[in-house]
Structure 1
Amino acid sequence: MNVLAGISSAGQPVHEQVPAAQVVGGRYRLEATPALVDGCAAGDLVEIDDDGRVSVIERGGNLAIQSFAERDAFDVDQIEALRKAFAAEGGLVEAPSHRRFVVVTVPVQAGFPRVEAIMNGWSETTGSGWSFGNVFDKEERPLNWW
């Protein structure tokens, strides 16, 4: 499914292809957490408007986390370390073959302190920042869906 990720500096819409299964009518269940589209995660039931904007109808219970490489790409070992850390929490770490970013999907039951500890420790070793993709709105206020 093609969803709106934002607008480019040239004023053109930027879309991200996100795996999703059509549930009924115009509703879809996200099968992966987007890298560029904020506000949603794998497992969410969503609607997509004509412009490709996502509206979450029902939360799937997963936190979305994104990290973008400060250098050219993350090392394979760095990504594997993150995968191992989140596997113990029931999480999934995905990265494209170019490894310029990673996306983490983890059940909210893992808890914010644990998730933040893993990401902060990993961030120290990679030198890259990270952010939640579905915890805050555009004004940085908590969405409080959990």
Structure 2
Amino acid sequence: MEAEDPKVLINVYAGDDDGEPIFEELPARRLDEDTYELLSSPGLALNLARGDIVSIKNKNAHAEVLSRGGNFCVQIYEDEDIPQAILSRLEKEVAAGLGGTLDGIHGGNLSLTIPSRNGMDRIGDFFDRFREQTGIQWYYANIYKNLDDPDDETLLAWWPKD
């Protein structure tokens, strides 16, 4: 008898648009009926990163993070497609300089996983230089407590101190 492959694609709630829920499809490893380990950082959903263990009991609510995988999710939003030369350079520099990965590309939107052991200051300096060189903005996607209020900058502070 063949074992079931625990790798699945899951729909993660990412918010509402005009009262309609928006979902993002992410690769995950099924741990049990409602519990998953994320295999990629999201490009749209907030408060999640690769390696997190999450519970999704209510599909129309944010996933509950049961334990952190030790990674920051950095999201980049650009109106236009990002040129391949910039993507290639960013991917190489993130891997070499931070031990991170480029997990997803959708048009001008990127998701990256960066190990928290780098510290926020080092990661911030890296992506601030990227912004200065390219004009492209970046965002820590899994550090804020209140996911539904973009003006509330209360930090979760789950990561080690710099």
TM-score normalised by length of structure 2: 0.83
- Counterpart amino acid of residue 144 in structure 1: A
User: How many residues are paired up?
Assistant: 143
Structure 1 unmatched ranges of 5 or more: none
Q: Which of 87-96 and 115-124 deviates more?
A: 87-96
From 52, 72, 76, the counterpart of 1:63: 72
Is it true that 1:133 corresponds to 2:137 in the alignment? no
> Which position in structure 1 is the counterpart of 2:86?
78
Deviation at 1:51, TM superposition (A): 2.5
| Alignment partners' CA distance in 2, 1:115 and 1:32 | 19
Is it true that 1:42 corresponds to 2:50 in the alignment? yes
> Which position in structure 2 is the counterpart of 1:51?
59
Deviation at 1:143, TM superposition (A): 0.4
> Which position in structure 2 is the counterpart of 1:93?
102
Q: Which of 128-137 and 36-45 deviates more?
A: 128-137
TM-score normalised by length of structure 1: 0.91
Structure 2 unmatched ranges of 5 or more: 1-9, 147-151
Instruction: Give the structure with higher Rg (CA).
Output: 2
Q: Secondary structure at the match of 2:110?
A: strand
2:43 and 2:104 in contact (8 A); partners too: no
| Alignment partners' CA distance in 2, 1:3 and 1:103 | 15
Q: Deviations for 1:64-122, whole angstroms, at most 9, x for unmatched residues?
A: 0001114x1111111112112211221001343x5311111011001112211111111
Q: Secondary structure at the match of 1:119?
A: helix
| Alignment partners' CA distance in 1, 2:32 and 2:145 | 27
